[in-house]
A and B are shown apart, each in its own frame.
Chain A
Amino acid sequence: MKLPFEELNLRRNPFGQLTAKERARLAVVDVDRFVQALHQPGQVFEFFGHSGRGKTTHMRGIWRHFPQAPFLRVAEERERFSIPDHPVVFIDEAQFLTRRQRRKTFTAQRSYVVGTHKKLHSIYQRAGLHFETVELRGLSAEKLASIIESRIEASRRGPGPIPRVHDDAIHLLIEEFGDNIRAIEGRLYEIFQRLDRPCLVDESFLQPATSAPTHTKNGATARKEQSQVGDV
């Protein structure tokens, strides 16, 4: 048994699930202007977009500059919801707030960073908040390349070569999945599971697994073949 992903000079699959802190640390987002504005009360930045477009990642990127601030996620099932006392509050999945909760949550004495699938402008207006909606749509090849680079680099085990993703593959991923970063991560996770040495992941790796190139391990299948149960 080897250390995990040792053969790739990595410590783990770079496209596996991250903790909230790791997501904040690795977020490839320009947050300076948000961070500055949030120091004043009465400001709302609303991140709006479909699932997998980076709402939570943007919020985590900003939250990194306010590590003491509460980061709340509203549950789909109606639950009691209270806001701890802090000048900046992060609320993810805000579309699930009930009307009553919305009225009680937003006040002009605080600033907010909100992630939502539904715009909540009237609520902010009623609370006297100055708001800006940041619609997360579209993904450039440069941005995706830097997201991928930061994820792989953060998983590095030691000095030396590590797998890289070729620009052509990045363009193909955008062609296939559009701006759905989560789906792209899922695809890259599967590709990195199959690698057996640091190499350049090009477009040939995006073929279905059966016709994938040779730098792959076939761990699960091999294990199955090795492990036949014997009747007693």
Chain B
Amino acid sequence: MINRCDLTIEFDEPSRRYKTGEEVTGFVTVDVNKDCRCNGLQVDCQWRTHGRGNQSTGSTATDNIFEGEWTAGGVHRYPFSFVIPNGPCSYHGHVLNVDWYIIARANIPWSFDPWEEADFLVEPGWNTAYEPYLTGDPTCSSNASLEHRIQVAQSGELGTVIFGFAFFLVGIIACLNFAFDDESSVGGLIMALIFSAVGAVTIYFGLRNRLATIKLGEIQVQIPQKRLRAGGIVEVLIDIPPASRAHLNKITARLVATEVVISGVGTNKTTHTHIVYDDPPHTFEGSVDRELLEGESAHFSHRYRLPYDVPPSFHADENDLNWSIAFHVDIARWPDWEQYRPLEVLPADPRAREEEQAIDDDDWSEAPPLTEDAVW
């Protein structure tokens, strides 16, 4: 039986900073105080989430770097080497963090297997092809195709109406019960009224876009490039074919990035969200105080640049960083129209950034350079 077996992980690069596509190399050092046999010294390279959500782990690259006898007192040092895939990059947020690890585990007969892990940073690379960038775990449901998530975003209205109607119905039945039952309490009536009110408000929000289309027709939103890099340009187009005369107060779009993680299981399941990026609403040119006439289609477009230092999208089981654009069409004296569309944001291309900086330094006043403290 072994008494002590200490594993130490050393990186060849002391700063432990690597780029996607680079090779992470180093040594595992083993110190035993008694001669023993090792049935395998396994080294894994993997990413893992940590924070408020349940941990998710990426697919692992594994290497068995030793099998044999260890003698007490000697220094046993074994090299490891892994090529880092094209994402996900390290990310440190509020409820979500993504980090990379080297994990060494010794399989020693008749003993608890000693193990050690060390973290390292992965940043957007210079030498890596950017397509396809891995935004987390490709097998998890939230990493489904962007088109699928757009459909889900658009189909939420029906669910809201059904949910609201259920609340409203329960509230109305309880109110009727109060009216016909002498023994009902006032507290019960208040609860019934609250249920009815919540139901009515929910139905309104569910039907709001439908009501807006009575005035404005089927509003078409287009985002030609839904998968773009940080520092890239987002172009959004809105076509309104008015079904009747209407007055627009304005049309705005807002970019939002949110960390969404789930902790616990069963009855303890809790969702934690944290907004990491929320830029002020951008107003579409020509949309302020605009009179729309029936049958005259109106087209609006807006282009804006994402900063270079925003975090990229990330999707793994119960751990997501979602990007979306929230559109708001403010109609005078009529329910507004609102919709959000998911986006996929990839890390900035360091080469494009440097080239652009060389061409026009003035542009950079809008998108500040990376700092040591920045996420990227």
Contact = CB atoms under 8 A, between A and B. Distances in A.
B34 interface: no
Contacts of B367: 227-228, 230
A226 B92 contact: no
Interface stretch (A13-21, A125-133, A198-206): A13-21
Interface in A208-232: 219-220, 222-224, 226-232
Contacts of B241: none
Nearest to B263: A17
A1 B372 contact: yes
B306 A229 contact: yes
Nearest to A19: B55
Nearest to B363: A230
B99 interface: yes
Interface in A175-210: 182, 186, 189, 193
A3 B121 contact: yes
A13 B304 contact: no
A232 B363 CA distance: 10
A16 B52 contact: yes
A194 B350 CA distance: 30
Given A17-B51, A19-B55, A51-B268, A220 B307 contact: no
Given A12-B97, A13-B50, A226 B121 contact: no
A6 to B, nearest CB: 9
Interface in A105-122: 117
B276 A229 contact: no
Interface string B226-265: 0000000100000000000000000000010000000111
A229 B310 CA distance: 10
Nearest to B368: A226
Contacts of A230: 304-305, 307, 363, 366-367
Chain A interface residue bracket vs B: 35 or more
Nearest to B373: A222
Nearest to B277: A227
A93 B266 contact: yes
A17 B54 contact: yes
A75 B307 CA distance: 44
Contact of B304 (A12, A51, A75, A231): A231
B358 to A, nearest CB: 18
Contact of B51 (A16, A19, A93, A223): A16
Interface string B131-163: 000000000000000000000000000000000
Contact of B94 (A1, A74, A193, A232): A193
B282 interface: yes
A208 B264 CA distance: 26
Contacts of A96: 266
Contacts of A220: 93-94, 274, 276
Contacts of B92: 1, 4, 219
Contact of B307 (A19, A56, A117, A226): A226
A102 interface: no
B10 interface: no
A215 to B, nearest CB: 16
B31 interface: no
Contacts of B305: 229-232
A118 B138 CA distance: 40
Contacts of B303: 231-232
B17 A226 contact: no
Nearest to A225: B368
B376 A232 contact: no
A12 B372 CA distance: 19
Given A1-B121, A17-B263, A229 B307 contact: yes
Given A223-B374, A223-B375, A3 B119 contact: yes
Contacts of B121: 1-3
A11 interface: yes
Nearest to B94: A220
Contact of A219 (B50, B94, B267, B302): B94
Interface in A16-43: 16-19
Interface in A52-109: 52, 56, 73-76, 92-93, 96
B279 interface: yes
A92 B23 CA distance: 43
Contact of A73 (B266, B310, B366): B266
A17 B309 contact: no
Interface in B52-78: 52-55
A89 to B, nearest CB: 17
A16 B50 contact: yes
A224 B368 CA distance: 12
Contacts of A76: 266-267
B265 A73 contact: yes
Contact of A51 (B52, B97, B120, B267): B267
B99 A4 contact: yes
Nearest to A3: B119
Contacts of B368: 226-227
A1 B266 contact: no
Contacts of B310: 227
Contacts of B16: 3
A197 to B, nearest CB: 14
Given A2-B121, A3-B121, A227-B277, 16 more contacts: A1-B121, A2-B372, A12-B50, A12-B51, A13-B50, A17-B263, A73-B265, A93-B266, A186-B52, A226-B368, A227-B279, A227-B307, A229-B255, A229-B306, A229-B366, A230-B305
User: Which 4 pairs from chain A and chain B are nearest by CB?
Assistant: A230-B366, A232-B303, A227-B307, A229-B279
